[in-house]
Structure 1
Amino acid sequence: MDLKQVLHMNGGNGEEGYANNSLLQKKVISMTKSLRDEAITNVYRNTKPKSLGIADLGCSYGPNTFLVIAEAIKAVEKFCQEQKQKSPEYKVFLNDLPGNDFNNVFLSYDAFKKNLISEVKTQMSPLYFFGAPGSFYDKLFPNKSLHFIHSSYSLQFLSKVPEGIDNNKGHIYWAKTSPPNVLKAYLEQYKADLSFFLKCRAEELVEGGRLVVTLIGEDPVNKDRGYIWEIMSMGLNDMVKQGIIKEEKVNTFNIPLYYPSLAEVKKEIDTQGSFDINYLETSQVNLAELDNWDDLDFTSKKPESLKDGGYNMENSFRAVAEPMLTGHFGESVTKEAFNRFLKHMADQMPKDKRPKLTNITMSLIRKAF
C-alpha cells in the first residue's frame, strides 16, 4: 500500500466525500481560534516581515481548507489596523499528500479571496497562494521561509505502518488484545515521525516562528487508542470466517495511525529540542454535541443526511478510512466492510450517548539556533 497515494480523504462533493463530512474537524478548528490568533499576531509583532509566510499542513479540501488561513490573515489585518500600519503581503502554502483533491481546493480560491477581502474591509496587501503536495514528514519549504505553520487533525497519521507487527493478527490497528510489541512498535514509529516533523518545521520557520498543531490523542480515562478501528476489524474478521476474504488479507493490513498521550508528545518535543512550549493541553469533543451545533457552513450542496445539521458519524469515518481500505481490499470488499461496521457500531455503541474524542493542542515557538 503506497501511503502517499491512499492516505487522503474521500474527494468530491458527494454524500460520502470529506467536504460534507468535516463538521467535527470544523468544531475542533473553532476551539483553537484564540490560540492561533495569539500565535500569528505575536510572531508578526515580533518579526515585522514585509512578506508573511503561512502554511497549513494536511489541508485536505472543503469548507475547512481556507478557514484557518482566513482567520490568520484577519488577525494580522486587525492588528495592523489597530497599530495604524501597512499590512504585509501574504504567502500562503496549502500542503497535503498528492492524492488530495487539490482541484476542489483551487476551484474554491476565487470565492474565498473575494469573501476575505469583503470581510476585512481594508486595503489588503497582495495575497499569494501555492499548493505544496508532499508528506509533512519531509522538508517542504526553504529554510526560514515561514512565520506561522498550522496543522489540525493530521499529525496522528504516521509516515508508514510500523515495522515488526506481523503478529498483530485479526486486528487492523493496536488493540488491547494485541501482542505487547505492537504498541511499542507504534510508539517508536510515532516518536521518530514527530521528531523529524519538528526538525523539518524548525528549519522552515524563522527564529521565533510559531507552530500550532491539534491532533487526536489517547483517551486519558480509558487509555483507548482507537476503539473504532477495532469495530471495523470485527466486520473484516466476519468476512474472513465466511470465506469472502482471506485471513492473510486482514493480517497484512494495519492502519498507519497513532493516538499519543499528552506525556508522550511533551517528552518528544523536549527531546527534539527545537521548540519552546507556549501551550500544550488536552481537550475533549463530545460527538453528541455536534448534532445541535449550528455553525455548519458547507459551501457545496448538502446531502440529505446533513440538511438537519446533524453529525453523521459513519460517513465521517468513511471519508477518512475508505481510501486506505479500498487501496488494500478493493472497492467491493470495502463497501461490504462498512455495511458490517454499521451493524457492529450499533451493537457496541451505547444507545444513550456518543463517544468523546480527546484532542492534544500545542503552540510552539521556534528557538534561536
Structure 2
Amino acid sequence: MTKKTAITKAKEVVASSIVDLYSRTLPKCLCIADLGCGSGPNTLLVITEIIDAIELERNGMGHPPLEYQVVLNDLPGNDFNSIFKSLPIFYEKTKKEKEHQMGPCFISGVPGSFLGRLFPSKSLHFVHSSYGVHWLSQAYLKQFQKDFSVFLRSRYEEIVPGGHMVITLLGRTSEDDFSTDFSCLKELLAKSLNDLVSQGLIEEAKADSFNLPLYAPCVEEVRAILQTEGSFDLEKLEMFETNWDLSLDNYNEEFVFDKYTSAQNITRHLRAITESLLVQHLGDAIINNIFQRFTENIEKHLSEEKSREKSRNVNLVISLRSKN
C-alpha cells in the first residue's frame, strides 16, 4: 500500500477532525505539523486536503481568512530541498484555486525523529502522521509500546489543550492473526532471503540478523497504550483493508487477474519501503536477486485462491484529542 492511498483512505477522518478543531477554537493562525512527511509527489497532498477542508468550513461560517503555519518533519536524511523547490508551484496553485481569499500559508521543515520533542510547548493545533508510527527504533511489541508512548507524550507537550492528531499506520485484525496482513509479506521476504542463502548468495548469519523494524498493532493493543499513556482522548479508531496489489482495489468487470503482473506490482511497492534497509545490511550487489526471488515467491503465493483472498493489508486510522 502506498502512502498516497493511506492519505486518501483517511481523508474523511482528517477533514472531520480538523474542521471540528477549527469550529471550536477559531484560531487566527492554524499551526499544523505533518510528521514523517517524506519528499515525494504526495508530500503536500495532506496539507492541501487540510486547507481545503478548513477553507470550505470557514467560508460557510462567513469568517475572515486565517493564516496557516505548516511544519513538515522527517528524519535528517530526508530530501527537504526537493520539497522546498516545489513550494512556489504549491503556493501559486493554492492562491489560484482559492481566488486569493485565503490567508498566507507559511511552510517550513524540521528534521529530526518524532520519538521525542520537535516543537515548542503548546505550539501546534493539529498533527498528522501517515505510515510513520509503525516504524520502530528497535523490534517489536514491547518496543512499539515504548515508542508509541514516547510519541504520544511528546506530542501532548507540543499540542495546545484540545488540539487534534490523526495517525494512520499498518495494523492487523486481531491479537492472534498474523496471516492475512503485512506480516505475511514479511515472511515471504524472509523466505526470499533464505532461498538465496541456500544458493550461497547470502551469508546465513547476515540473513538471520536482518530485521524489518516495523510493528503492525491490533486495535486492542492501540487502545491499551492510549489508555495507559493517558494524554489523549480517543475520538475515532477505524480499520480499512487494501489489497497488496493496489490495482486490484479498482478493477472492473473486464479485469483479468494476472498473478505475475500483480506480483510485480507488490514487489515494486515493498521495494520502495525496504530497499534502503536491505542495502545497508546486505549491500547493493544482491538487491536485484532478492526482489527477483521475492516476485517469484509472491507469484506462487497468489497462485492459490485461498492465499490470494488473504493478501490484504490492514490499516488503522486513529483520531485523538489532546486532554486539557
Query: How does the TM-score come out when normalised to structure 2?
Result: 0.89
Look up the match of 1:240: 197
Identity %: 40
CA RMSD of aligned residues (A): 2.2
2:164 to 189, 205, 210: 210
Q: Which amino acid aligns with 2:19?
A: T
Q: Of the candidates 175, 185, 194, which is equivalent to residue 228 of structure 1?
A: 185
Partner of 1:25: 3
Superposed CA deviations along residues 5-64 of structure 1, whole A, max 9, x for unmatched, are xxxxxxxxxxxxxxxxxx732222122212111111121222222221101111112222
1:95-154 Cα offsets, whole Å, 9 max, x none, are 111222223222222222222222222422111111111111121111111100011111
Q: CA–CA distance in 2 between the matches of 1:342 and 1:319?
A: 14
Which among 349, 356, 359 is matched to residue 315 of structure 2?
Answer: 359
Q: Secondary structure at the match of 2:2?
A: helix
AA aligned opposite 1:357: N
Distance 1:356 1:247 in 2: 30
User: Cα distance 1:62–1:311, how it changes in 2: closer, same or farther (>3 A)?
Assistant: farther
User: Is 1:336 the counterpart of 2:289 in the alignment?
Assistant: yes
SS of aligned partner of 1:332? coil
What is the match of residue 260 of structure 1? Answer: 217
Conserved 8 A contact 1:93-1:131: yes
The corresponding residue for 2:151 is 197
**Structure-2 change in CA distance of 1:311 and 1:361 (3 Å):** farther
For 1:51 and 1:140, the matched residues in 2 are separated by 19
Q: Is the 8 A contact 1:290 1:311 kept in 2?
A: no
Q: Distance in 2 between matches of 1:238 and 1:289?
A: 27
Q: Secondary structure at the match of 2:132?
A: coil
What residue ranges of structure 1 are gaps of 5+ in the alignment? 1-22, 163-185, 295-309
Query: Are 2:8 and 1:43 aligned?
Result: no
Match of 1:178 in 2: none
The aligned residue for residue 235 of structure 2 is 278
2:245/2:266 contact within 8 Å kept: no
Matched AA of 1:233: A
For residues 308-327 of structure 1, give each alpha carbon's deviation from its aligned partner in whole angstroms, at most 9, with x where no partner exists.
xx992211111110001001
Alpha carbons 1:94, 1:130 under 8 Å: kept: yes
The structure 1 segments of at least 4 consecutive aligned residues displaced by more than 6 Å after TM superposition are: none
Contact 1:282 1:361 in 2 (8 A): yes
* Contact 1:76/1:87, CA 8 A, preserved across alignment: no
Matched, 1:318 2:271: yes
Distance 1:350 1:144, change over 3 A: farther
**Does the 8 A contact of 2:236 with 2:320 survive in 1?**
yes
Amino acid at match of 2:285: S
Is the CA contact (8 Å cut-off) linking 2:243 and 2:249 kept in structure 1? no
Query: What SS is found at the alignment partner of 2:119?
Result: coil
Query: 1:288: Cα distance to partner?
Result: 4.9
Q: How does 1:57-76 map to 2 (within 5 A)?
A: 57-76=35-54
Matched residues in 2 for 1:77 and 1:331: separation? 47
Deviation of 1:199 (Å)? 0.3
Q: 1:247 and 1:111 mapped to 2: Cα distance?
A: 49
- Aligned mates of 2:249, 2:199 — CA distance in 1: 40
Distance across 2 between alignment mates of 1:287 and 1:323: 20
Instruction: Give per-residue Cα distances to partners, 1:177-218, cap 9 Å, x unaligned.
Output: xxxxxxxxx111000011110001111100110000110101
Is the Cα–Cα contact under 8 Å of residues 122 and 159 in structure 2 kept in the other structure? yes
Indicate which of 110, 115, 118 corresponds to 2:88: 110
* Counterpart code for 1:208: G
| Distance in 2 separating the partners of 1:98 and 1:349 | 38
Work out which structure has the larger RCO, using CA pairs closer than 8 Å and 6 or more positions apart in sequence.
1
- Paired residue for 2:255? none
Structure 2: stretches of 5+ with no match in the other structure:
252-262
Secondary structure in 2 aligned to 1:61? coil
TM-score of the pair, normalised by structure 1: 0.78
Q: How many residues are aligned here? A: 308
Q: Give the aligned residue type for 1:70.
A: T
Contact 1:144 / 1:205 at 8 angstroms: preserved in 2? yes
* Counterpart selection for 1:86 from 39, 64, 79: 64
Asked whether the 8 Å contact 1:53–1:146 carries over to 2, the reply is yes
Displacement of 1:289 after TM fit? 5.5
Q: Which residue of 2 aligns with 1:13?
A: none
| 8 Å contact kept, 1:24–1:290 | no
Structure richer in helix, relative to its length: 2
How far apart in 1 are the matches of 2:318 and 2:173?
Answer: 17
